[in-house]
Amino acid sequence: MKDDKRKETLEKLEQKMFDQLTKAAIDLNKYVSILNMMSHLQYRWLRKDEIGPGKKYQIPAHDAATVRKVYEGLHNIKISDI
């Protein structure tokens, strides 16, 4: 689902996020859960309409060091809506 060449698919971005969380020593099976799956229709005049998927995750962090690792890792892959 690419709008143009600058946007990544949700699946690729999700995999990068999982890689960063694993590097931060987060057990994906134990601590990462999906809160919400959604999509939105974006109307574009003179261009094709686009349906954009999205997911929200919950990742409990039990100490400040883990929070820092998660924020830094997600920032490195350009995920800013934390």
Give 30-75 pLDDT, tens digit per residue. Answer: 988 887 777 666 555 656 666 667 788 888 888 899 889 989 998 9
Q: What is the 3-state secondary structure (H, E, C) of 36-73?
A: EEEEEEECCCCCCCEEEEEEEEECCCCCHHHHHHHHHH
Q: Are 37 and 15 in contact (CB under 8 A)?
A: no
* pLDDT confidence tier of residue 7, bands split at 50, 70 and 90: low
Print the domain residue range for 50.
Answer: 33-82
- On whether residue 47 sits in a domain, the answer given is yes
Number of domains in the chain: 1
- On whether residue 72 sits in a domain, the answer given is yes
pTM listed for this prediction:
0.66
* pLDDT confidence tier of residue 17, bands split at 50, 70 and 90: very high
Q: Determine the Cα–Cα distance for residues 37 and 50; give it in Å rounded to an integer.
A: 17
Q: Are 31 and 60 in contact (CB under 8 A)?
A: yes
Nearest to 57 by CA among 19, 24, 14, 11: 14
